Amino acid sequence: MNADGNNPGSSNTAPLEPGRLRLPAVVTHVEYSAVVDSTNDVARRLAAELPRTATLLVAAEEQTAGRGRGANRWWTGAGSLAFSLLIDPARYGIEVRYGCMVALAAATAIVETATLHLPSPAVGIRWPNDVYIGRRKLAGILVEALADGRQIIGIGLNVNNSVAAAPPEISAIATSLIDETGGPLDRTEVLSQLVTSLDGALGRLAEDRSALAELADDLCLQKDEVLRVRLGDETVVGRCIGIADDGGLALETSTGRRTLYSGIVLK
């Protein structure tokens, strides 16, 4: 038991309380389960039954097949947040050509939410859309598009799950809010804050895409680092200038400035 009278062992992993969520009006449906395969997969299945005007939040305590970008898996530690938001970008007024910036908008929302709980402003974005504290990953984002243009924004945020309990390959490179702050957070409240922030960031993307990109650029932790980005068969090497106003990664390479819109940043 800690000084606040909480028992961290149980409160860290206390289940979400869907009835206590304070969500923006745009969210029309909420689906909460103890265990799912992947919240993105649940959202995809339910999307088929919902009108495109619906905005669906899917949250779960545990994922048996949590997915990351590419072929990566996602570790959903007990006490973390794993959820997906099914949106229609057109409903926000996001132009189709900027749909690829939804993930970046989500990254700014995670930073905004995490900052509410962190003593220092060290939290930022590593392009394309990972949220880090210093050199350690705090959250991951997996955005998937449906054939009809809707998008599923999947977010995994390490909250009350100390990464000390994670497999060694994860504990070496990840962090969580509890590891940074020392105390458990109310995950229902954090989820409410994050979905609200996400709604705000999507609105910002629709209204002023350059302002959103500028915010992402301010939060970019890779500036001045020499990055190696695998792009198909090519590896692009360059000093990171930041995030361009269309969400691309701006690099100063030996042959001049290049802006990349896809690729894997190599470690």
Residue type, 48: A
The correct pick among 79, 124, 128, 156 for binding ligand BTN (CB under 6 A) is 156
Residues in region 129-148 near ligand BTN by CB under 6 A: 130, 140-142
What does the chain come to in residues? 267
Residues 28-67: x/- map of binding to ligand BTN (CB under 6 A)?
----------xxx----------------------x--xx
DSSP state of 149: S
Nearer to ligand BTN, 8 or 18 (CB): 18
- Rule CB under 6 A: is residue 210 a binding residue for ligand BTN? no
Give Cα 41 to chain centroid, integer Å. Answer: 16
Q: Is 120 left (phi over 0), alpha (psi -120 to 50) or beta?
A: beta
> What is the nearest approach in angstroms of ligand BTN to the Cβ of residue 30?
15
If DSSP codes are grouped into helix, strand and coil, which group holds residue 250? strand
Measured from the CB atom, the residue of 58 and 206 that comes closer to ligand BTN is 58
Residues 6+ apart with CB under 8 A from 9: none
Q: What angle do CA 25, 117, 222 make, to 5 degrees?
A: 95
Q: What's the token pair of residue 17? A: 């309380």
Any idea of the CA torsion for 61, 62, 65, 66, to the nearest 10 degrees?
Answer: 50
x/- string (CB under 6 A) for ligand BTN, residues 76-115? ------xxx-------------------------------
Number of residues that bind ligand BTN (CB under 6 A): 20
Q: Which two tokens stand for residue 78?
A: 């007990």
Closer residue to ligand BTN (CB): 42 or 260: 42
Summarize as ranges the residues that interact with ligand BTN (CB under 6 A): 38-40, 63, 66-69, 72, 74, 82-84, 130, 140-142, 154-156
